[in-house]
Amino acid sequence: MVKVEYHQAVSCPLKDIQFSFFQMVYVIAGKGFLKINDNISSYSKGSLILLTPNDQHNLEIIENTDLLLVKFSERYVKNYKWNSINSMECLLYGASFLSGCILQNKPDVVLVNSIVDSLLHGLNYPDLYQEELTFNYVNALIVIAARNISKMRAEHITSNSDKRAIDIINYIQGNIHDPALLKVSAISEKFGFSQTYLGSYFKKQCGETIQQYISNYKMRLIEHRVLFSDMRVNEIVTEFGFSDESHLNKFFKKRHHMSLTEFKKMKSPKAMV
């Protein structure tokens, strides 16, 4: 599912609503403040904001605001063939700790402006093959968003993190569905570290053990599967390499003290309208 919409707003059209899809919000004109979950940041003309599933968001509009909304589903991100980008979904979910404009890579500003102009033109003057063009424009925005998030994420690990730590994290995210490749022995061999040194190195660079990072990251993806997809429990078991449903539920209950079914009933957001 991909949908592009243009909005003119003098007050926040959506307040304290959670969605089951991603939204990229581009500010064509206006200024104000955006609250995503518990974070507040300003927005202005040219801001590109990514809202991930489960975010709560409000706009406090100071000047009349024109917005381009680009909506796309988790399934679209997961199923599209992204060529060399192995963890597109992971990068987008990684935006959940960010707030405000994600467009930090200056050369991308010109690209995004051009894409937004093309999407607006398509909305106002639809022509032959418009749907195919829209998909390509949206895909370009997703890749640009992922590139900027990746660079921002690298700066938020710790002040002492280096490129090797980022490479290890990218490796973990890209292989999160294969338990064999997530063993310390496999990661150590991949990056030429001893197992002992890998453990101390990763904790120093990232502030948590490598097993904690793998567990936390896997849990975050499973939570999104439970809340925002139609996957069955046995499908999640297969995707993440658990031995059976009991193994998955034990892993999940250790964190949430409830089953996947109970978690979904309690946390599930309103359906997309």
**What is the pLDDT at residue 116?**
97
As a whole number, the mean pLDDT across the chain is: 83
CATH architecture for residues 2-156? Sandwich (2.60)
The pLDDT of residue 89 is: 67
Counts for the chain of helices (H) and strands (E), in that order: 11, 5
**pLDDT, tens digit, 9 for 90 and up, residues 112-134:** 999 999 999 999 999 999 999 99
DSSP for 99-148?
Answer: -S-----HHHHHHHHHHHHHHHHHHHS--TTHHHHHHHHHHHHHHHHHHH
Report how far residue 233's alpha carbon sits from residue 196's, in angstroms, rounded to the nearest whole number. Answer: 35
Instruction: Phi first, then psi: give them for residue 167, nearest 5 degrees.
Output: -65, -40
CATH of domain 160-271: 1.10.10.60
pLDDT given at position 171: 87
The whole-angstrom separation of Cα 3 and Cα 242 is 35
pLDDT, tens digit, for every residue of 15-66?
555 667 888 999 999 998 888 776 777 889 999 988 887 677 788 888 899 9
In whole angstroms, give the CA distance from residue 248 to residue 263: 13
Rg (CA), the chain: 20
Query: Regarding beta strands 57-72 and 39-43, do their DSSP bridges make them parallel or antiparallel, or are they unpaired?
Result: unpaired
Dig out the tokens for 87 from the structure.
Answer: 């963890």
Q: Where are the domains of the chain?
A: 2-156, 160-271
Where the chain has pLDDT below 70, the residues are 11-19, 38, 54, 83-91, 93-99, 151-161, 228-229, 268-273
CA pair distance 227, 257, nearest whole angstrom:
17
Q: What are the C-alpha distances in Å from 135 to residues 1, 11, 28, 43? A: 10, 30, 20, 26
pLDDT at residue 161, as a whole number: 60
